[in-house]
Chain A
Amino acid sequence: MATTTATDIAGTDVAVGPSPSLRRRRSRLARRNALIGWSFILPNFLGFALLTLVPIVVLFYMSMTNWNVFGTANWVGLANFQRLVGDGSFRIALFNTLYYSVLHIPLTFVVALGLALLLNSKLRGVAFFRTAAFFPYITSIVAIAIVWNLLFSPDYGPINEILRAFGFANPPGWLTSSDWAMPAVVIVSTWRDMGYYMILFLAGLQTVPRELHEAARMDGANAIQRFFNVTMPSLRPTTFFVTVMLTINSFKIFDLILVMTEGGPGQSTLVLSQFIYTKGFEESQFGYASAASVALFFLCITVTVAQFLANKRRSA
């Protein structure tokens, strides 16, 4: 009853797969399962669609209009993008964003991984250090900005006092100097983010099989060799995730720079997100700001896709 019959070359009946009635029942079941699944994710998806997906689609439309938030949005085609290409401030913002990312991503990666390796032990008190490392991530960003501004004060701040004690006669001006403002921001940003990525690495380190380490040790591998040949390969999913998140968040950096330097001195720490904010909310040029947002979107997605492809190739 479960199988259908068909006639083969010789003319005898052969069972050939599920009967139509069973197929119908299976597809009904599959459809019902799918519907139930959808009903559970529908609230989340509705929120995503209304608050994220639809605004992004509207963003693409707005980037080709000139809209000052009150009047009608007049279609201007690619004029905003042409203007972006010639805009000196946009180029500065793009350069600064890339400069920030190139400094921030490797530094945070190394520091977070180092902290995770250090704190991946079951000694008493390790929980305190893990909490201490994570604390900056949940601290108010305005408090961070105020305190680090004081620390970085070129004439009276402790950082330069220490540097002078070590013999540096002319310590950097940090947030008051257009050369050192971005490195100063990167330092604070790394200090803030290291705890979060450390937690991710700690979770990943728990999945490294002990037997591999044992085997490697018995074969005579030292700690460094074990790290590169056992730990790192096992950590690849975590490393991949951390790198992708770090990259995207670095490109989108906004709040820390806004409260620490407001893009200054001059435009030395102006990043894309702040450029978008200024053009949109301070100068009411929402169409132009949308075009800049689209540029940022393509920057993020290009780099992320490249990272996914690289990861796929490595895991193949």
Chain B
Amino acid sequence: MKRKFVAAAGVAMVATLALAACSASPATESAEAGGPVTLSVSGWSIATTPEFQLLADGFEEKYPDVTVELKEYDPVNYNTLLTADLAAGSGPDIITQKEVKFVSTFQEGGQLVDVSDVELPEGIGGTEAYEIDGASYAVPYRQDSWVVYYNKALFDEAGVEYPDGTWTWDDYADLESELSTALAAKPAFGGYQHSWQSTVQGFANAQTPKADILSGDFGHLEAYYKRVLGMQDDGGQVDFNTRNANQLTYQGEFGKQKAAMLPMGSWYVATLIAQQASGEADDFDWGVAPAPQYDAKTTGIDNVPVTFGDPTGLGINAAIGDDKLQAAKDFLAYAASEEAAQALAAIGITPALLNDDVVETYFSVEGSPSDELSKFAISTHETLPENPTSTKTAAIQGILGDLHTAVMSGSEPIDSAIKGAEDRVKNEVGLD
């Protein structure tokens, strides 16, 4: 009798637990036509990436009826986590496009609203990255490009003249070697190259005429890799294997004056200023120079240097309620506007709209370099995309990433690695 009761209680408890385990259905936002609206925007590292809060606050000031909530995601797994949320139907209203190579996946999956009708200011850069089949699926608010940071104090110590922007990559390699020899006692290297595949391939793809990774031809990478391996052998920079074994960071190497030059994206300006202010990085004079060029045709301040970089943009979740759609489009228009660009420039972010006024604001931030070359490097460049917008980009970049580690670690010679990568693209991705 007692056992029967216990058994019955057990079954009842199991049933209750099983029902309770089913998650409560996500709270559906009540549709209030014309009333106050809440928009959720996805972001990452909110504490150390102030741009999201800045855009949210600025928009709320302009449109008091709308509340903007930030939804934070882990930066390393941002796209995977976002995908999971979108597939479950609990994604944010406004989807920040952290990487261009996922835009095609989202668009193909019907997750993005066509935003071709959002008005964008004249001269805004980076819009092509979000154009698929003639329609726009996101709006850029930030456009980064790669430049070279140089430590003026170390240059003085080595007795070498500052770069003047007329350099090609061969010049850069020679300069790096010269600096390393002069600074050997410090000890410091002439330059530091981070381990990402973009540090070599980004430049090779953008600067070599007619190079296109979507074509599956990678012969143009050979010259760049040969040169980089030469720079390593010369002792101009820390070699790839040591960098990986010791987990070096580019912020640490340049900020602590262990390298005199650093090719890196323009986002590092804000970080370096903040780290110098907080004491994390040493206090030294530094400047920004345009990236070294493929050949003399695009060098110097009378020409437009070619570099690479991807925009960061905002898209709208296709599952958004009709009542919120207009507010979401307004947010996109605001983020791309000159007003937002000025606000972003004031905290050291390179906005997609880089006209003269915005550049002035950018360089009025305390701690930023004040010389003419730096202003030129940040404002004048032909920035080609690091990741072309296509559904094949993720797979091709993966294959090229394997090529990068194989060649840079010295386990495979560049020519066989290129051949291997080309075969893999034909076999695994297809070139239709």
Contacts and interface: CB of A to CB of B under 8 A. Distances in A.
A173 B405 CA distance: 14
Given A178-B411, A266-B405, A282-B394, A153 B245 contact: yes
A150 B240 CA distance: 14
A264 B424 contact: no
Q: What is the size category of the interface that chain B forms with chain A?
A: 35 or more
A157 B406 contact: no
Interface string B7-18: 100110010011
Nearest to B427: A88
Interface stretch (B104-112, B130-138, B144-152): B104-112
A46 B7 CA distance: 17
Contacts of B240: 176
Contacts of B80: 281
B403 interface: yes
Nearest to A157: B245
A220 B242 CA distance: 57
Interface string A239-280: 000000000000000000000001111111000000000100
Given A39-B14, A88-B427, A282-B394, A178 B87 contact: no
A262 B18 CA distance: 39
B411 A39 contact: no
B83 interface: yes
B3 interface: yes
Contacts of A278: 398
B164 interface: no
A86 B14 CA distance: 48
B241 A39 contact: no
Contacts of A39: 7, 10-11, 14
Interface in A23-61: 32, 35-36, 39-40, 42-43, 46
B366 interface: no
Given A46-B14, A178-B406, A153 B246 contact: yes
Interface in B221-273: 240-242, 244-247
Q: What is the size category of the interface that chain A forms with chain B?
A: 35 or more
Contacts of A238: none
Nearest to A44: B14
Contact of B242 (A156, A177, A262): A156
Contact of A264 (B7, B108, B247, B405): B405
Contact of A149 (B105, B244, B409): B244
A173 B410 contact: yes
Contacts of A154: 241, 245
Nearest to A266: B406
A80 interface: no
A175 B241 CA distance: 9
A70 interface: yes
A266 B106 contact: no
A68 B109 contact: yes
Contacts of B105: 68, 70, 284
A70 B112 CA distance: 11
B423 interface: yes
A265 B409 contact: yes
A126 B427 CA distance: 56
A283 B394 CA distance: 6
B70 interface: no
Contacts of A283: 394-395, 398
Contacts of A146: 247
B428 interface: yes
B394 A266 contact: no
B409 A177 contact: yes
A178 B413 CA distance: 12
B330 interface: no
A71 B110 contact: yes
A53 B102 CA distance: 31
Contacts of B245: 149-150, 152-154, 156-157, 175-176
A136 to B, nearest CB: 20
Given A46-B18, A177-B411, A150 B427 contact: no
B281 interface: no
A284 B79 CA distance: 11
B158 interface: no
Given A69-B83, A173-B241, A268 B411 contact: yes
B417 interface: yes
Contact of B7 (A36, A87, A177, A262): A36
Nearest to A71: B109
A154 B241 CA distance: 8
Interface string B43-72: 000000000000000000000000000000
B428 to A, nearest CB: 6
Nearest to B7: A36
Contacts of B246: 150, 153, 156
Contact of A266 (B10, B110, B412, B428): B412
B176 to A, nearest CB: 20
Contacts of B424: 88-89
A262 B427 CA distance: 22
B10 A40 contact: yes
Nearest to A152: B245
A263 B11 contact: no
A70 B86 contact: yes
A35 B80 CA distance: 43
A265 B405 contact: yes
A264 B402 contact: yes
A155 interface: yes
A267 B403 CA distance: 9
Nearest to B107: A70
Contacts of A268: 406, 411
B427 A86 contact: yes
Contacts of B406: 178, 264-268
Interface string B266-284: 0000000000000000000
Given A87-B427, A149-B245, A264-B405, A71 B108 contact: yes
Q: Please indicate which of the listed interface residues B86, B245, B403 has the most CB atoms of chain A within 10 Å of its own CB.
A: B245
27 contacts: A42-B14, A43-B18, A46-B18, A68-B108, A70-B106, A86-B427, A89-B424, A149-B245, A153-B242, A157-B245, A176-B241, A176-B244, A176-B245, A176-B411, A179-B411, A262-B405, A264-B402, A264-B405, A265-B405, A265-B411, A267-B402, A278-B398, A282-B394, A283-B395, A283-B398, A284-B83, A284-B109
Q: Which 10 A-B pairs have the closest CB atoms?
A: A70-B109, A266-B406, A153-B245, A178-B411, A264-B405, A265-B409, A176-B241, A265-B411, A176-B409, A39-B10
